[in-house]
Structure 1
Amino acid sequence: MNNKDSNKTEQMELFSKLVSQIPMLIYVLDKHWNFKLSEGAALSKIGLKPGEVVGKSARELYKDNTNIISSLDQAYKGIDTSSILKLDDLYLEHYIAPYYNKNNEIDGVVGAAIDVTNRLKSEDELQKTRELQNAILESVPGMIYMYNDLGELLFWNKWHETMTGYNKEELYLKKFTDWFENDEQSLAAINQGLQDMKTKGFGETEAYLECKDKTKIPLYFTARLFKLDGKDYFVGMGVDISNRVAAENKLKVLNHTLEEKVIERTQELSDANIELSEVNQELTAMNEEMQAMNEELSNSNEKMIKMQNFLVESEKMASLGGLVAGVAHEINTPIGIGMTASTHLQDMVNDLLELNKERPLTSEDIIPYLEDIDKATHMIYKNLNRAATLIKSFKQLSVDQSAEPKRLFDLCEYTNEVLLSLSPSMKKTKIKINTICKEPVMINGYPGSLAQVITNLVMNSLKHGYLAEQKGIITIEINRKDPMIEIVYKDDGVGIDNDIIDKIFEPFFTTNRSNGGTGLGLSIIYSIITQQYKGSIKCDSEKGKGVKFTIYIKEDII
């Protein structure tokens, strides 16, 4: 061997030693596809040792791996290739290139591969995280946004476009204050919120946002300040509070009307008590009883005022506007009857007093009046008792839905209380509700949540399940199925199409959006049953054959 060949051998050995320490694999094939070199620390990951395949044919070794054969074939044609190879659970980033002899002819190929398994897994996890974050942002029932230090919009969710009516091109770099430029009061509130954000790091306010079609939506806005690459940005969300604002306005009018009626009725009762106090000794006992009843009526009115005040606060948290209407409607009838009977009683007393001025009263004069007075007081007592019962029932239900304490309660009895609160809505329809409970079913949980489930199911049937003036029957059956409790809700309405039944629990899915449907009713039910009560809910329906919801919940929520 001459010196020149010896130097080449030494250089090749040195190169092999160096390559064997690198966390990758390098190989060289001659023009007949035979390995001339196979080195690198990464060989062990595919079950080979350095130099183990030298002299062997790559075509024979990888005949079952079409990707490798195809890439090598391209290299022998003078084309550089790169690809990701999957060998069991291992991913290799593979590079192949031809090498040429002195005559510029392809004399073989060289290849290198590096293990990118961890990198690809990290990229996959990052992609999953981004998809999850995007899904969360798109599921929020409100606007999500990010503005730069110039107040220009950089990022938003789909709900932002849906609510405002602007497309992506129109929203990009739109100024935050532009939404309120035609409303000085809203603009002032927004500027105050931004000022709080700059001084405290967080700001919040309520204002009316002007949409593309010039409609204005009341929203609750938040803004959180943060820095990115040395620049100021802020993120936040805008939540539609239209229902709350409408309910508050309605309650203000209702409270004002109720206060006037209470003052008027209280004054009338006070005048009646003064006149009744002047009757003769035989009517004194009856008059004292009337005073007690009048005091009870006054207390009932005070309770109604307190309930109204309570409902104002509760509406802010749980949207109990419907319950307020139910209270006013249901209590109005017994109180009206009581006031009518009280007025009639006052007239009888005045007649008796006038007769007493004309001549001394006899038993024949007094007895008919006493009989009528007895009937009137009985009517007043009966209707006051009815009003007190309604107030107690509505008060318990409203407390459950706002404070939401965990307590032990009879699900059957509580269901009937919830249905009682829905009676004003039911009276406007020809739908009847039957409840079937063979025995008391005690549950330790959150009654307000179950009240929302029952209310949403009933209102969903009334809005979507029946046509106008259509008769129907809703059945709610409650049974103990150890270790769970079964609730079966059925109606005999129009039913649900098979092609949409799998979507009914999705947030914002509705077939009645044009009439104000939000698509949240059944989604809220699904969340309460599956998350809070660790149970399940299933819907069975056919078009024209009604709907059936089968619910299973735990009897004791931990």
Structure 2
Amino acid sequence: MPGKVEVSRVALYRAMVEQALDALLVLEGEHFIDCNPSAEKMYGLTREQLLLCTPLHLSAKTQFDGRDSLTAAAAYIALTKSGQPQRFDWASRKADGSLFTTEVALSLLDEDGRQCIIAVVRDVTERRQAELVARKKNEKLRILLENFPGGVSLIDENLRVVAWNNELLRMLDLPPALFQGQQPLAREVFEANIKRGEYGEFSAASDEKKLAKLMDIIQSDTPYSYERTRSDGSIIEVRGVPVEGGGFVTTCMDVTAKHHIEQEFRKQSLFLKAVLAHMPQGLSVFDAQLQLYLWNQGFLDVLNYHPDTIYQGVPFADLLRIMAERGEYGEGDIDELVNTRLQLARQFQAHQFERTRPNFHTHLVQGKPIHENGKLQGFVTTYTDITELKKVQMALSKANALLEQNIAERTTELRHTQDDLMRSEKLAALGSLVAGVAHELNTPIGNSLLTSSTLQAKTQEFAQKVDEGNLRRSDLNAYLQAAQHASELIEHGLKSAADLVASFKQVAVDQASSKRRRFHVSKVCHDVIATMMSKIRQAGLQISMDIPVHIEMDSFPGPFDQVICNLVDNAILHAFEGRADGHIQIQASMLDQDRLEIRFTDNGVGIPKENLSRVFDPFFTTKLGQGGSGLGMNIVYNIVTSLLGGDIRIDSEEGSGTSFIMQIPLFAPVNDTD
């Protein structure tokens, strides 16, 4: 019957509502009009109490999204009434005020214009807490995976890649699309790499065999480890560890740099062994405990150790004992000899010494401590057989002694030769001086001779007139005047000759003797220029001197004369070629109370720049075969810088003349010549 069926259906729905584990609430307007027992149990309220409540009585003040409950509830109810069922998390409140998390589903019941909201509420507090814990664990796992220094992946019991990090994708250059939004099967990853030509370690196998080999590895229950050389040349070390219940944790490390370092280390080790084997010296390295760590064959050869006595870790004391027992350290108690050297070694101080062994071989022993980060690590020592070197050094020492003796002899000969050349140059200068003086004497003496002859003729003529008795007063007066004039001329000529002879005598004596005395610079310069006037006039030169008469020196006038003579000769020979208006000026001035500056300046052609540094070199001349010996300026330099104790420099510009500037002490230094 229709009525019975309808009642049964209502009863059935009521039974379902009553037995439902989720809380069911019917909302009409602002109040609940119905609920089930699960709702009473969930909120801790009776049915009557619940039917008096509004949604706000069963809610927290604010919701998870930050909205207040009234605003959030109104929004969800409005959407539900518009025909859009809602499902959301809701912060609920029990009768005792405690809060808990619920999942709420709202649906609209519209019957004959009457709208009600059916709310299905499930307590998800424990589930959300479990999810939160799981998320935290997953986040920690993700942080761990992303900060792992290599690639890492987790394959579950179904052979699906369920976890990985970005370093794995980068390192293996895996296709990103394979991992986006899904957990690929390990087979799919292997197949993608095989198609790209990866897994070169299985290059001899077909693609099917490669895949089968890889699947066998991850399906086994034993750890595995192998290296992959990728197509780009990088080397990946793959390690897998089985997980209880099925699956594998796989790690990948890029060991390309490690392989390169290992290869370089092996290469360097090979080179080190080759160097040690071919070193001419013996070498040993002891650690901080004075135990042998490293050595070469030269160590055994130089010190004559038997190979059986040398091994890594042998104490230094044992090796000292072997040497002591062989008499290497001389006579004495063996233990005392060993302990003495052992105490020195324990100081770990750098040392170097030579030791002649009983076989007459001499060894150079050099030791140096090894430090790392400020900490003593050991001691390295080299042993060099220098027996032949010692022989060569002795022979070289003898050769050097003989060479020094020969050099001394040749130097003495050279000095004698130089002295002879300087004497020859002096004699040549003196000869030139004599010739000039002789020419200068001819004029006053000749004039005096001519005047005396004329006076003699006048006297004879006067005497004849006296004898004849026809002497007149006018004749007497004429004779007296002629005699007076002749006497004056003869006196002037002879006085000039006498002055010239005196100057020449002084210059000649000074240059011949080179004795030290006090003299006035002005007087000496005038004397030497007077003796050279014939040569100066013959060259068509003008010479002027600006020398204060009060300047007095305690020095060597002879060498000083020679300096002036050589400078004049040098100017005549070199300075005025092609010039008719040559002029030489000699100036002297005091630098201070003890030093004099003399400038010898000409207005000649100057000295080429490339010759300035060679002017004072012996035998350097630009007039070889034309009167230049190359010794004049060298003599000037030697006299000024050694005997007179001064210095000399040149100031010259080609085409604008030359100045020789000498700075000389008024008191010459005392030397062996004195």
Normalised TM-score (structure 1): 0.50
User: What residue number does 1:491 align with?
Assistant: 602
User: What residue number does 2:484 align with?
Assistant: 374
Asked whether 1:447 is paired with 2:557, we answer yes
User: What residue number does 1:342 align with?
Assistant: 452
User: What residue number does 1:437 align with?
Assistant: 547
Amino acid at match of 1:416: H
User: What residue number does 1:161 align with?
Assistant: none
Residues 243 and 448 of structure 1, relative CA distance in 2, 3 Å threshold: closer
Equivalent residue of 2:608, what SS? coil
Equivalent residue of 1:548, what SS? strand
Is 2:616–2:634's contact at 8 Å kept on the other side of the alignment?
yes
Asked whether 1:16 is paired with 2:323, we answer yes
Matches within 5 A, 1:379-418: 379-418=489-528
Identify which of 566, 570, 575 aligns with 1:465: 575
Is 2:521–2:549's contact at 8 Å kept on the other side of the alignment?
no
1:323 and 1:535 map into 2 onto residues whose CA distance is 26
Residues 549 and 381 of structure 1, relative CA distance in 2, 3 Å threshold: same
Question: In the comparison of the two structures, how many residue pairs are matched?
Answer: 325
Residue 136 of structure 1, CA deviation: 3.5
Matches within 5 A, 1:201-216: none
Equivalent residue of 1:505, what SS? coil
Is 1:539–1:550's contact at 8 Å kept on the other side of the alignment?
yes
Residue 42 of structure 1, CA deviation: 4.3
User: What residue number does 1:427 align with?
Assistant: 537
Matches within 5 A, 1:182-193: none
Is 1:139–1:507's contact at 8 Å kept on the other side of the alignment?
no
Normalised TM-score (structure 2): 0.42
Residue 16 of structure 1, CA deviation: 3.4
Identify which of 649, 657, 663 aligns with 1:552: 663
1:490 and 1:135 map into 2 onto residues whose CA distance is 39
Is 1:433–1:475's contact at 8 Å kept on the other side of the alignment?
yes
Matches within 5 A, 1:78-477: 94=384, 129=404, 133=408, 136=411, 142=417, 315=427, 320-468=430-578, 470-477=580-587
Residue 454 of structure 1, CA deviation: 0.3
Residues 387 and 550 of structure 1, relative CA distance in 2, 3 Å threshold: same
Asked whether 1:526 is paired with 2:637, we answer yes
Amino acid at match of 1:350: Q
1:7 and 1:242 map into 2 onto residues whose CA distance is 77
Larger radius of gyration: 2
Is 2:353–2:366's contact at 8 Å kept on the other side of the alignment?
no
2:450 and 2:318 map into 1 onto residues whose CA distance is 117
Is 2:649–2:660's contact at 8 Å kept on the other side of the alignment?
yes
Amino acid at match of 1:454: I
| Structure 1: runs of 5+ lacking an equivalent | 23-37, 63-67, 69-92, 96-110, 144-237, 245-313
1:412 and 1:444 map into 2 onto residues whose CA distance is 14
1:115 and 1:56 map into 2 onto residues whose CA distance is 34
1:469 and 1:462 map into 2 onto residues whose CA distance is 11
Residues 515 and 21 of structure 1, relative CA distance in 2, 3 Å threshold: farther
Q: CA RMSD in A?
A: 4.5
2:352 and 2:457 map into 1 onto residues whose CA distance is 112
Summarize deviations over 1:7-60 as a string: whole Å, max 9, x none: 9989955443369749xxxxxxxxxxxxxxx9995499745489xxxx9899xx
Residue 361 of structure 1, CA deviation: 2.3
User: What residue number does 1:481 align with?
Assistant: 591
Equivalent residue of 1:513, what SS? coil
2:548 and 2:405 map into 1 onto residues whose CA distance is 51
2:351 and 2:648 map into 1 onto residues whose CA distance is 60
Identify which of 622, 628, 634 aligns with 1:511: 622
Equivalent residue of 1:430, what SS? coil
Equivalent residue of 1:320, what SS? helix
1:534 and 1:39 map into 2 onto residues whose CA distance is 50
Residue 112 of structure 1, CA deviation: 9.9
Amino acid at match of 2:512: S
Residues 355 and 40 of structure 1, relative CA distance in 2, 3 Å threshold: closer
Residues 529 and 242 of structure 1, relative CA distance in 2, 3 Å threshold: closer
Identity across the alignment (%): 28
Residues 21 and 115 of structure 1, relative CA distance in 2, 3 Å threshold: farther
Residues 506 and 485 of structure 1, relative CA distance in 2, 3 Å threshold: same
Residue 356 of structure 1, CA deviation: 2.4
Summarize deviations over 1:331-362 as a string: whole Å, max 9, x none: 11111111111111111122222222333423
Summarize deviations over 1:282-311 as a string: whole Å, max 9, x none: xxxxxxxxxxxxxxxxxxxxxxxxxxxxxx
Equivalent residue of 2:449, what SS? helix
Residues 339 and 469 of structure 1, relative CA distance in 2, 3 Å threshold: farther
Residue 124 of structure 1, CA deviation: 11
| Structure 2: runs of 5+ lacking an equivalent | 1-306, 331-349, 356-363, 371-375
